[in-house]
């Protein structure tokens, strides 16, 4: 009898794409597993062209043992006082998820389909309330954690301190304490690197309630590999760990769908230009799907690039106006916001683009360094292609990611790690041209970090091969899914 798993990713590229890739790996590894992925639509105002087209492509991409079900868009609340946040938006789909799972159990996809049994529900890290659906159907729940093992360990430790030690890390913001000992790191974590959600009295209880639900699952799939985060994996295997089994199954990357849009002449031009550049001479600057800057910050970056003298590809996007929500926009006239004459003076050594085909650029041999916001998917992509990072974290857990890459692992160089922009708010600090130039020069002109990144790149590839650590972890997950069926 086939075993059916239902996957529920959070809305958004950085969550849907990795979970889809995990599902593909599972059905490839075991002929007895089928997966149905329930796609929750993006919140109104948060969709981008690439996100919407990707979701649309999934609705027609179902295969024999891998099915996609894009859920119907929920009605937006009418009252201005009832604007949904990210978690409430996800939770509004719970009745639809329950009905879809029930139909899946009682009505096979095709009349001639072999019988299958619901073996469990795999929820995204932000979909923990969907654990209730698994409980209603009396099946195990599992979680897919799109960030890294170190941040998962940090969350678990902070929740332990709060619940068992009466220690509230949000009090550290106004205290004289500057560092926090974390079991999943070998060195203390600076308080300035804690994400904003942990330093906010209103948000921290919400985050901790999510972590408590992690412990209700039978296991947690994490988008990392054991060789990259040995201290975190040591913590998860020790007696002090309070989480269920952790399976490091990464790097889970979507390398095929992040290429250039054939209809976008600018993207094609950028890639042709890269092909003409000498090997390892270009610095790539890109700040993720939510990373945008004001005009004054864009000017500082431009000054730094020109002073550094290095070839560059710069993905520049406009910060959304304060008080608004959604992804960053595009600058309509770069000549108006960049230093006078910058585009003319750098025409032969640099290219400025809006949205960038990130993996296609990182894969190009001309690229030597990557100035990044340190989102975890971007970090894994940089390691996969052996391109070192200069860290410029903006929001969410990115300060922790940057600290881990620079101080814990020695796989990146730092621009400034105290730079902070709260998620879903326009960035407020100004990074100076001097800081940016210093970071770019360190990234492009030193070889010690580069050598370590190349070595870790090889380990990331090996981990997914037969006999590799992530390959073995995925097989262990499949074995445990089978054994957990009552």
Whether the per-residue pLDDT at 180 is higher than 60: the answer is yes
pLDDT at 181: 96
pLDDT at 45: 59
Contact predicate 195/400, CB 8 Å: yes
Q: How many CA atoms lie within 13 A of 132 on its CB side?
A: 10
pLDDT at residue 108 is higher than 70? no
**Is residue 260 over pLDDT 50?**
no
Average pLDDT over residues 425-443: 85
Name the least confident of 156-170, 280-294, 322-336, 446-460: 322-336
Phi, psi of 354 (to 5 degrees): -85, -115
Q: How confident is the model at residue 257 (pLDDT cuts 50, 70, 90)?
A: very low
Q: Report pTM.
A: 0.93
**Which one, of 119, 122, 116, lies nearest residue 139 by Cα?**
119
Q: Are strands 141-145 and 219-222 parallel, antiparallel or unpaired?
A: parallel
At residue 80, φ and ψ (nearest 5 deg) are: -65, -25
Question: pLDDT band at 53, cuts 50/70/90?
Answer: confident
Distance CA 63, CA 35 (A): 10
pLDDT at 426: 43
The tens digit of pLDDT for each residue in 331-390 reads 989 999 999 999 999 999 999 999 899 999 999 999 999 999 999 999 999 999 999 999
**Average pLDDT score over the chain:** 90
Give the pLDDT of residue 456: 98
Instruction: Label residue 80 by pLDDT band (50, 70, 90).
Output: very low
102: which residues sit within 8 A by CB, 6+ positions away? 137
Name every residue whose Cβ is closer than 8 Å to that of residue 76 and which is 6 or more positions away in sequence: 44, 84
Residue 22 — very low, low, confident or very high, per pLDDT cuts 50/70/90? Answer: very high
Q: Is 208 exposed, middle or buried (0-12, 13-18, 19+ CB in 10 A)?
A: buried
Range with the poorest average pLDDT among 158-167, 189-198, 274-283: 189-198
3-class SS of residue 138: coil
Q: In which band, very low, low, confident or very high, does the pLDDT at 54 lie, cut at 50, 70 and 90? A: confident
Q: Does pLDDT of 79 surpass 90? A: no
pLDDT greater at residue 324 or residue 342: 342
Half-sphere exposure of 15 (CA within 13 A, CB side): 22
Q: Which domains does the chain have, with CATH numbers?
A: 2-254+463-484 (3.40.50.2000), 265-460 (3.40.50.2000)
Dist CA 31 CA 118 (whole Å): 15
Token pair 């990130």 is found at 358
Query: Is residue 236's pLDDT more than 80?
Result: yes
Instruction: Please say if the pLDDT value at position 46 is more than 90.
Output: no
Average pLDDT over residues 73-99: 75
Which tops the pLDDT comparison, 29 or 486?
Answer: 29
Angle, CA of 458, 355 and 392, to the nearest 5°: 60
Pairing of strands 282-286, 189-190: unpaired
Predicted confidence at residue 267, as pLDDT, reads 85
**Which whole number is the average pLDDT over 433-452?**
96
347 touches 311 (CB < 8 A): no
């Amino acid at each position: 009898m086939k075993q059916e798993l239902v996957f529920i990713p959070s809305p958004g590229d950085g969550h849907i794409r990795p979970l889809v890739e995990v599902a593909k790996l599972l059905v490839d590894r075991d002929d007895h597993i089928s997966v149905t992925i329930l796609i929750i639509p993006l919140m109104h105002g948060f969709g981008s062209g690439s996100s919407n087209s990707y979701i649309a492509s999934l609705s027609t991409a179902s295969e024999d043992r891998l099915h996609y079900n894009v859920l119907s868009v929920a009605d937006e609340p009418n009252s201005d006082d009832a604007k949904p946040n990210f978690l409430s938006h996800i939770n509004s789909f719970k009745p639809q998820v329950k009905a879809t799972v029930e139909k899946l159990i009682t009505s096979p996809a095709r009349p001639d389909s072999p019988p299958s049994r619901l073996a469990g529900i795999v929820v995204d890290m932000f979909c923990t309330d969907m654990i209730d659906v698994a409980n209603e159907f009396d099946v195990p729940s599992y979680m897919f954690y799109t960030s890294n093992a170190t941040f998962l360990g940090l969350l678990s430790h902070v929740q332990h301190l709060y619940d068992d030690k009466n220690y509230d890390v949000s009090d550290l913001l106004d205290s004289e304490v500057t560092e926090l000992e974390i079991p999943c790191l070998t060195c203390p974590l600076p308080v300035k690197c804690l994400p904003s959600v942990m330093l906010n009295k209103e948000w921290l209880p919400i985050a901790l309630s999510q972590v408590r639900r992690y412990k209700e699952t039978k296991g947690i799939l994490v988008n990392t590999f054991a060789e990259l985060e040995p201290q975190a994996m040591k913590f998860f295997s020790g007696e002090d760990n309070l989480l269920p089994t952790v399976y490091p199954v990464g790097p889970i990357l979507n390398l095929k769908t992040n290429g250039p849009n054939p209809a976008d002449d600018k993207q094609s031009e950028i890639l042709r230009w890269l092909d003409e550049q000498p090997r390892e001479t270009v610095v790539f600057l890109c700040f993720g799907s939510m990373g945008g800057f004001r005009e004054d910050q864009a000017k500082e970056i431009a000054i730094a690039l020109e002073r550094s003298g290095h070839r560059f590809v710069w993905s520049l996007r406009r910060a959304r106006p304060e008080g608004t929500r959604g992804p960053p926009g595009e600058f309509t006239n770069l000549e108006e916001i960049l230093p006078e004459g910058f585009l003319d003076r750098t025409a032969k050594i640099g290219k400025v683009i809006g949205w960038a085909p990130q993996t296609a650029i990182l894969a190009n041999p001309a690229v030597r360094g990557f100035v990044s916001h340190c989102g975890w998917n971007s970090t894994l992509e940089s390691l996969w292609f052996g391109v070192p990072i200069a860290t410029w974290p903006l929001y969410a857990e990115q300060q922790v990611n940057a600290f881990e890459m620079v101080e814990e692992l020695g796989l990146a160089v730092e621009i400034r790690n105290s730079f902070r922009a709260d998620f879903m708010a326009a960035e407020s600090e100004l990074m100076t041209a001097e800081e940016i130039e210093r970071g770019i020069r360190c990234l492009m002109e030193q070889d010690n970090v580069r050598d370590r990144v190349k070595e870790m790149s090889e380990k990331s590839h090996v981990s997914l091969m037969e006999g590799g650590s992530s390959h073995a972890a995925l097989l262990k997950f499949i074995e445990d899914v089978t054994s957990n069926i009552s």
